[in-house]
Amino acid sequence: MVISKRPVVTIKGGCSCSMPGVWRAVAHNEGAVVIYHSPKACGHVTREMNLGGYYRSVARREFVPRQYMAPLVVSGLKEEHSIFGGAEQLRQCIGYVVTRYKPAYIVIANSCVAGVIGDDVQAVAYEAGQEWKIPVMSVPCSGFLDGEYYAGFYHTGRALADRFMFPRPAMENTVTLLGDRGGPGGPDVQEMKGLLQYFGLKAHCHFPGYASLEEIQRVPASALCVPLGGRAEAFSWMRRLASDLEEMFGVPFLDHDCPVGWQGTKTWLKNMGKLLGRKSQVLLAEKEQEQRLRQQVVKSRAKIRAARVVLCIGRPLLHFQPDWVFELLAYTGVSLDGIILLRGLTGQQRDAMRRELQNNTEAPVFDQREGAAVLETADLVVTTHELAEDTKRQLFLPVLSPVGVGGLVLVMQKLARLAERPARRGGIIYGW
Amino acid sequence: MKKVAFYGKGGIGKSTTAANVSAALAEKGHLVCQIGCDPKNDSTRLLLGKACAQTVLDMVRQNGDEVTTEQVVHTGFAGVKCVEAGGPEPGVGCAGRGIIVALEKLKLLQAITDEHFVLYDVLGDVVCGGFAVPIREGYATDIYIVSSGELMSLYAANNIAKGVARFSGRGRARLGGIIGNSRNIANERELLCEFAEKLNTRLVAFIPHDRSVQQAEIRRKTVIELAPHSRQADVYRRLADYIVENTALTVPTPMSLAELEELSLTYGD
Ligand SMILES: Nc1ncnc2c1ncn2[C@@H]1O[C@H](COP(=O)(O)OP(=O)(O)O)[C@@H](O)[C@H]1O
Ligand SMILES: [Mg+2]
To the nearest whole Å, the CA of B103 is away from the closest chain A CA by 13
pLDDT at residue A65, as a whole number: 67
Which of these three, A116, A145, A164, is where a domain ends? Answer: A164
What is the tally of structural domains in chain A? 3
Q: How far is the CA of A276 from the centre of ligand 1 (A)?
A: 75
Section B249-260 average pLDDT: 96
Is the same domain home to A41 and A148?
yes
CA-closest residue to ligand 1 atom 14: B11
Q: Compute the distance between CA of residue B229 and CA of residue B224 in angstroms, rounded to an integer.
A: 8
CB pairs under 8 A between A and B: 41
Q: At residue A5, does pLDDT exceed 90?
A: no
pLDDT at residue B126, as a whole number: 67
Neighbours of B183 (CB within 10 A): 14
Q: At residue A7, does pLDDT exceed 90?
A: no
pLDDT at residue A182, as a whole number: 85
Q: At residue A70, does pLDDT exceed 80?
A: yes
Residue among B99, B77, B103 nearest B88 (CA) = B99
Ligand nearest to the CA of B235: 1
Note whether residue A119 is domain-resident.
Answer: yes
pLDDT at residue A12, as a whole number: 35
pLDDT at residue A427, as a whole number: 86
Note whether residue A60 is domain-resident.
Answer: yes
Section B94-108 average pLDDT: 92
Q: In the annotation, is B198 catalytic?
A: no
Q: What mean pLDDT is reported for chain B?
A: 95
Q: How far is the CA of B82 from the centre of ligand 2 (A)?
A: 14
Note whether residue A290 is domain-resident.
Answer: no
Q: At residue B127, does pLDDT exceed 70?
A: no
Note whether residue A265 is domain-resident.
Answer: no
Please give the residue that has the higher pLDDT: either B170 or B71.
Answer: B71
Q: Does B97 sit within 8 Å of A85, measured CB to CB?
A: no
CB neighbours of B201 closer than 8 A, spacing ≥ 6? B175, B176, B177, B178, B250, B252
State what percent of residues in chain A have pLDDT above 70: 96
* Contact of A33 with A101, CB cutoff 8 Å: yes
Site residues for ligand 1, CB cut-off 6 Å: B 8, 10-16, 181, 207, 209-210, 213-214, 217
Q: At residue A212, does pLDDT exceed 50?
A: yes
Q: In the annotation, is B2 catalytic?
A: no
Is the same domain home to A158 and A178?
no
Q: Give A144's pLDDT tier (boundaries 50, 70, 90).
A: confident
Which of A11-15, A228-232, A244-248 shows the lowest mean pLDDT across its residues? A11-15
pLDDT tens for A339-374 read 999 998 999 999 999 999 998 889 999 999 999 899
Which of these three, A132, A164, A196, is where a domain ends? Answer: A164
Write down the catalytic residue from B14, B81, B105, B221: B14
Is the same domain home to A246 and A130?
no
Domain encompassing residue A98:
18-164
Q: Does A81 sit within 8 Å of B92, measured CB to CB?
A: no
pLDDT tens for B145-197 read 999 999 999 999 999 999 999 989 888 899 999 999 999 999 999 999 999 99
Domain encompassing residue B116:
2-267
Is the same domain home to A97 and A210?
no
Which of these three, A258, A278, A311, is where a domain ends? Answer: A258
Q: Give A3's pLDDT tier (boundaries 50, 70, 90).
A: very low
Output the domain CATH number for residue B101.
3.40.50.300
Q: Which helix (DSSP H) or strand (DSSP E) does residue A37 occupy? A: strand A32-37
Tell how strand A72-74 and strand A136-142 pair up.
unpaired
Section A281-302 average pLDDT: 93
pLDDT tens for A79-117 read 999 999 999 999 999 999 999 999 999 999 999 999 988
Note whether residue A133 is domain-resident.
Answer: yes
State what percent of residues in chain A have pLDDT above 90: 73
State what percent of residues in chain B have pLDDT above 90: 86
Is the same domain home to A236 and A142?
no
Candidates A87, A117, A120; nearest CB to B94: A117
Q: Give A214's pLDDT tier (boundaries 50, 70, 90).
A: very high
pLDDT at residue B223, as a whole number: 98
State what percent of residues in chain B have pLDDT above 70: 99
What is the tally of structural domains in chain B? 1
Which of A4-18, A224-238, A250-264, A379-393 shows the lowest mean pLDDT across its residues? A4-18
SS3 A72: strand
Note whether residue A294 is domain-resident.
Answer: no
Buried b (16+ CB within 10 A) or exposed e, A307-343: bebbbbbbbbbebbbbbbbbbbbebbebebbbbbbbb
Q: How far is CA B148 from each of CA A207, A354, A429, B162, rounded to the nearest angstrom?
A: 61, 61, 74, 18
pLDDT at residue A14, as a whole number: 55
Note whether residue A69 is domain-resident.
Answer: yes
Output the domain CATH number for residue A218.
3.40.50.1980
